[in-house]
A and B are shown apart, each in its own frame.
Chain A
Amino acid sequence: EAQVTQNPRYLITVTGKKLTVTCSQNMNHEYMSWYRQDPGLGLRQIYYSMNVEVTDKGDVPEGYKVSRKEKRNFPLILESPSPNQTSLYFCASRESGGKGGYTFGSGTRLTVV
């Protein structure tokens, strides 16, 4: 089944403890992206990648890192999480030059205390 898989689905962590949210897609898509969703603010793009080793900042990149060493994986790294990074995170992918939109993962609900 074509899908974007995020792990974990839920995570509670403490301020300052580094964490990684993994994202993997099995559709051979070139484009991948991370979003966070907050009440009243909607979805905001954190980082996106247009191919292996090609990443760029979205609207809210501060406090996050990403890497794209392989086409299928696009992990989101929080080096020193803070409570304002408590949010619902989504990873998504789509093929380049395609007429379709993004396929989204099921989301990761992160709480930083």
Chain B
Amino acid sequence: SQQGEEDPQALSIQEGENATMNCSYKTSINNLQWYRQNSGRGLVHLILIRSNEREKHSGRLRVTLDTSKKSSSLLITASRAADTASYFCATGGQGGSEKLVFGKGTKLTVNP
């Protein structure tokens, strides 16, 4: 079952610009996580935001969560070529379980 849906599917920007990716989901959640994946490699965890949190920051990353709209956004500020990757949101923790559902991802290209 598909829970998180990222938007847009692909995003191409210039170095130095900000990149915003959105994630929508369908059911109530305990937490929402964002991951990055470089082509064909393992995923790297970026940020976990709990359902009772509205915003979190980590370096150049800012994540917001709006549980009333069932949506989250990931903002990467001052992007770099090294940020080129696919970004996934994942929703989980319902009922205390570790069942985690990933979206299909946003492919971000940062042009030098």
Contact = CB atoms under 8 A, between A and B. Distances in A.
A67 B106 CA distance: 33
Contacts of A105: 42
Given A40-B104, A41-B104, A102-B35, 18 more contacts: A4-B42, A31-B98, A33-B98, A42-B2, A44-B102, A45-B102, A56-B97, A59-B99, A88-B40, A100-B48, A101-B47, A101-B48, A101-B90, A102-B33, A104-B42, A104-B44, A105-B42, A107-B42
A19 interface: no
A59 B101 contact: yes
Interface of A: 4, 31, 33, 35, 40-45, 48-50, 56, 58-59, 88, 90, 92, 99-107
A101 B35 contact: yes
Residue in A43, A48, A104, A105 whose Cβ sees the most chain B Cβ within 10 Å: A43
Contact of B41 (A33, A40, A41, A107): A107
A41 B104 CA distance: 6
Interface in B44-67: 44-48
A78 B33 CA distance: 29
Contacts of B46: 101
Given A42-B105, A88-B40, A107-B40, A50 B45 contact: no
A62 B99 CA distance: 16
B37 to A, nearest CB: 9
Ranked nearest first, the 5 interchain pairs of A and B with the lowest CB-CB distance are A101-B45, A104-B42, A42-B104, A43-B102, A101-B33
B78 interface: no
Contact of B43 (A31, A58, A104): A104
B100 interface: yes
B41 A45 contact: no
B25 interface: no
